[in-house]
Every structure is written in structure tokens, then in C-alpha cells.
Amino acid sequence: MTSTVLSAILSLVSVLATPSAAPEGHPGRGHHGASAERMCQAIQCSEEQKAQIESIRAEHREEMADERARAKEIHAALKAERSAPRPDAKKIEGLRAELSALKAEMKEDRREARSEVAALLTPEQKERLAAMKAEHRAKKAERKGKGKGKRGGKEQAQARGKRGEHGPMNFEKVGPQGERRGKAHAKGKGKGKKGPAFAARGRQGGSRGPSKG
């Protein structure tokens, strides 16, 4: 069985392992049940398969819910301990070890559920499920690419706008400070040119010797 097929079955298991009924006061959270029904229809599950899948779902649903709740508690305890005035290193290490073990247990539970569902599906259903998964990924990647293109174009437009506000650099327009620096530079060049002349005059004066009173 290919990794794509396994991934698709895992996705189906994830949907099936989620409660289908929306909690009271939280409308819209029962979409997982509808998604499971649509997926079963897409791969043409038989009534017997639906009943067996529902049984697997009921078996793993409560167990997975308990594991997620426990993981949430451990994360909260870790956060509280790390932000304490004097964090207990041993306690933090213990919580991290517990969380790691829980994650491994959750992974094993998902693998078990995946295997149980895979055993119910025909080869054709597995391939159809994998094709659905690949199509979903392609559409998701396309939407993501379009979003990046829009953001990139907007950022480029903003950058051009900022350059337009400042305007292109005009070297012909030099401020007062630039003018002063230019004059000082010109004076320096002038002094440099006069230097040899003064040196020549000094040598001439030295050869003549001191003037007689």
C-alpha cells in the first residue's frame, strides 16, 4: 500500500474519529460527521461498511477525546511551571516525558484505527480515496499560490509607492551642506596647488641669505 493511500485513509480515520454532533451552543462543529458521510458516498461504501466504520469511530472517539484533553492539561501545566518565579526543572522534565509518552500513544491509536478502516475497504475504494486526497492537496496548493501572488504584487506596489514619495535622487540639486563641502574641497585643492610655489619661494629666499640692513 502506497504512502498516498495510507495518508488518505488516515485522513478518513481522523474525520471518522471526531464527534459528529455539534455541542449545544456551538453550531457548525458537527461538520466532521457530514464530511465522513460525503467521503463514504464518494468511495461508495456499502451499508455494511458504513456500520463497521461507525463502530470503529465510536470505539476510538472517546479514547481520542480523553487523550486530547489530557494533552491540553499537560501543556497548561508546563506553561504554568515555566512561568513560575522558580520553575521546578524536575517537574518540567516529568511533564515533558508524560506528554511525549501520550503523543506516542495517540499516534499508535491512530495507526490502529487506520488499519481497522483499511481492512474494510476494497483496493478500488483505497485508490479512489487516495485520488480524492491528491486532488484536495492540489487545490489547496493552488489557493495558497494565488494568495502569495496577491501579497507579492501588493508588496511590490507599496514599495514602488514609497520610492515615488521620496522621488528619484537628483544629483543636480545639492543642499547647503553639500555646497559648503564643495567649497571646502575646492579650497583644499587650491592650497595644495599653492604649496609648491611657496616652497620654491622659500628656497629662493634661503639661497639669497639674510638681507643686509
Q: What is the pLDDT of residues 118-157, one digit of tens each?
A: 899 999 988 888 888 888 788 888 888 877 666 666 666 6
Q: Is residue 187 part of a domain?
A: no
Contact 35, 15 (CB under 8 A): yes
Q: Residue 11 sits in which domain range?
A: 3-22+29-139
Q: What is the pLDDT of residues 175-188, one digit of tens each?
A: 555 545 555 555 55
Q: Is residue 163 part of a domain?
A: no
Q: Is residue 84 part of a domain?
A: yes
Q: Is residue 144 part of a domain?
A: no
Q: How many Cα atoms within 13 Å fall on the side-chain side of residue 170?
A: 6
Overall pTM surpassing 0.85 (yes/no): no
Determine how many CB atoms are found less than 10 A away from the CB of residue 5: 19
Total domains, the chain: 1
Query: How would residue 86 be classed by pLDDT, with cut points 50, 70 and 90?
Result: very high
Q: Is residue 201 part of a domain?
A: no
CA 5 to the chain's CA centroid: 27
Q: Is residue 109 part of a domain?
A: yes
Name the packing angle between helices 47-82 and 31-42 (round to 10°): 140
Query: How would residue 97 be classed by pLDDT, with cut points 50, 70 and 90?
Result: very high
Q: Is residue 198 part of a domain?
A: no
In 3D space, the residue among 28, 10, 36 whose CA is nearest the CA of residue 114 turns out to be 10
Q: What is the pLDDT of residues 55-70, one digit of tens each?
A: 888 888 888 899 999 9
Q: Is residue 91 part of a domain?
A: yes
Q: Give dist(CA 183, CA 192) in Å, integer.
A: 14
Determine how many CB atoms are found less than 10 A away from the CB of residue 121: 20
